[in-house]
């Protein structure tokens, strides 16, 4: 069954320290970056500048209206390396296995956990990432109040590790990226590959 997540949730982009975030991601020219649950695409647009014309950014979401706006903005800016994909990321993302250098989730994982489809997405993420590729997750710090969802829905870094680890990922770093958010990164565990 296809999950339909909130269509127009507020982006966390204006809440975070983008410079620190992108320094931690260290996106290389020519790399492939997949923004899962891209929404309006602020992160995807910034990543497109960093991968350069020889790289690729795939902005994936079910919110087709947002993807149309993002596609138009990318075209206006001349960012032909940014491609929008309408897909249910909890089921199947139409990208090749081992094709991505970075898979990115910005304040999306808590929604997927609530919807009961985080496992499907994490399996897809593991499939798409190259060996030693990075899974980068931005989440809200676990505090009561806004911005973000209720404290019961927010995920602590320990909770994220418990959710992500069993899907073939090794925790790398935890970085504070502003008063409300953190970045937690994982590498795809190549030791678990079938060959």
For residue 55, the domain's CATH number is: 3.40.50.150
pLDDT averaged over the chain? 90
**Surface-to-core class of residue 177, CB atoms within 10 Å of its CB (0-12 exposed, 13-18 middle, 19+ buried):** buried
Is 57 within 8 Å of 83 (Cβ atoms)?
yes
For 36, phi then psi, to 5°, come to -95, 120
- Residue 182: inside a domain: yes
Separation CA 162–CA 69 (nearest Å): 35
* 25 within domain boundaries: yes
The residue segments making up the domain with residue 98 are 16-139+154-192
Indicate if the pLDDT at residue 105 is higher than 60. Answer: yes
pLDDT recorded at residue 191: 65
Count how many domains the chain has. Answer: 1
Q: What is the mean pLDDT of residues 119-146?
A: 94
Two structure tokens written together for 111:
């929604």
Rounded distance between C-alpha atoms, residue 188 and residue 133, angstroms: 5
Q: What is the pLDDT of residue 5?
A: 39
pLDDT band at residue 91, thresholds of 50, 70 and 90?
confident
118 located within any domain: yes
pLDDT at 61: 94
Question: Does residue 2 form part of some domain?
Answer: no
Tokens encoding 121: 């997405």
What is the separation, in whole angstroms, between the first and last Cα of the chain? 31
pLDDT at 81: 98
**What is the b/e burial string over 28-67, where b = at least 16 CB atoms within 10 angstroms of the residue's CB?**
eeebbbbbbbbbbbbbbbbbbebbeeebbbbbbbbbeebb
Distance separating alpha carbons of residues 152 and 78, to the nearest angstrom? 41
Output the pTM of the full model: 0.91
Phi, psi of 105 (to 5 degrees): -130, 110
DSSP string, 122-140: HHHHHHHEEEEEEEEEEEE
145: in domain: no
Binned at pLDDT 50, 70 and 90, residue 12 comes out as: confident
What are 112-122's pLDDT values in tens digits? 999 999 999 99
Is pLDDT above 70 for 192?
A: no
Structure tokens belonging to residue 44: 């995807």
């Amino acid at each position: 069954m296809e999950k339909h997540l909130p269509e127009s949730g507020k982006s966390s982009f204006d809440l975070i320290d983008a410079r620190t975030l992108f320094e931690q991601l260290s996106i290389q020219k020519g790399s492939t970056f997949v923004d899962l649950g891209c929404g309006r695409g602020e992160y995807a647009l910034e990543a497109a500048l960093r991968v350069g014309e020889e790289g690729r950014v795939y902005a994936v979401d079910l919110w087709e209206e947002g993807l149309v706006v993002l596609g138009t903005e990318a075209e206006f800016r001349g960012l032909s390396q940014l491609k929008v994909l309408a897909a249910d990321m909890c089921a199947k993302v139409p990208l090749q296995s081992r094709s991505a250098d970075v898979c990115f989730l910005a304040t999306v994982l808590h929604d997927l956990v609530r919807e009961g489809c985080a496992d499907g997405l994490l399996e897809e993420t593991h499939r798409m990432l190259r060996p030693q590729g990075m899974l980068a997750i931005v989440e809200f710090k676990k505090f009561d109040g806004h911005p973000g969802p209720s404290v019961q829905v927010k995920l602590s870094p320990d909770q994220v590790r418990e959710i992500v680890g069993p899907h073939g990922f090794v925790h790398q770093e935890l970085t504070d990226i502003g008063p409300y958010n953190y970045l937690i990164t994982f590498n795809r565990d190549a030791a678990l590959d079938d060959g």
